[in-house]
Amino acid sequence: MDLTLKIWRQENAQARGEFKTYQVKGVSADSSFLEMLDVLNESLVDKVETPVCFDHDCREGICGMCSLYINGRPHGPDDAVTTCQLHMRKFKHGDTITIEPWRAKAFPVIKDLVVDRSAFDKIIQAGGYTSATTGGVPDANATLINKTNADLAMDAAACIGCGACVAACKNASAMLFVSAKVSQMALLPQGQVEKRERVQKMVARMDELGFGNCTNTYACEMECPKEISVSNIARMNREFLVAKLV
């Protein structure tokens, strides 16, 4: 298929960016979106032009680095996938595809489609550590965990920190991400000792970094490639209020 690409080009966070139009021809419907961008960059290199910068690593939907805003949706026109899992069969011959980086104060543009998502790392760092006993390795069955809580914790831990929730939110809120990281520990016995301190520090750091607040539009849940539930936000709010009261 032949496609027209409107891609955001920006030298750095201070530079003025703009959309530039490119043509790609003979794209296979079975190729991934990132493979299509590889084809574009190969053609730009052949023309001695600067290739488009975009982030990627695992290309298996695990790392969350391949975050792009495609035709007005984080990760593009498919559900529960990252950009690297998006295939060109979702588009048609002759389509025009608009590709942008995440748009959020806390995610400044590094270059072109690459943004600095280290704000998420800072929030996790603010959460600190979990207490663990030293000595011999305990038996796996020694710590009993409710099956429901174990499943909920694993669902929350599936968050890959891609930032789609921030990109989808009109307030650039990071509450779905933060609540997932709070929930995965708050639901397990290993995370109980520091849980009150953890939630307060992570929420405070989130606010310091310039993320907006949640207004319950559920756009974050809709666009999350790992389908993290907004029920985690309610849990985080409860944990935060209890921590403040206690």
Q: What is the pLDDT of residue 166?
A: 98
Tell me if 54 sits within 8 A of 114, measured CB to CB. yes
Q: What is the pLDDT of residue 134?
A: 62
Identify the structural domains of the chain with CATH numbers, from first to last.
3-110 (3.10.20.30), 118-245 (1.10.1060.10)
Residue pLDDT tens, the chain, 246 long: 999 999 999 999 999 999 999 999 999 999 999 999 999 999 999 999 999 999 999 999 999 999 999 999 999 999 999 999 999 999 999 999 999 999 999 999 999 999 999 999 999 999 988 876 666 766 767 778 889 999 999 999 999 999 999 999 999 999 999 999 999 999 998 888 899 999 999 999 999 999 999 999 999 999 999 999 999 999 999 999 999 998
pTM: 0.93
The whole-angstrom separation of Cα 177 and Cα 108 is 18
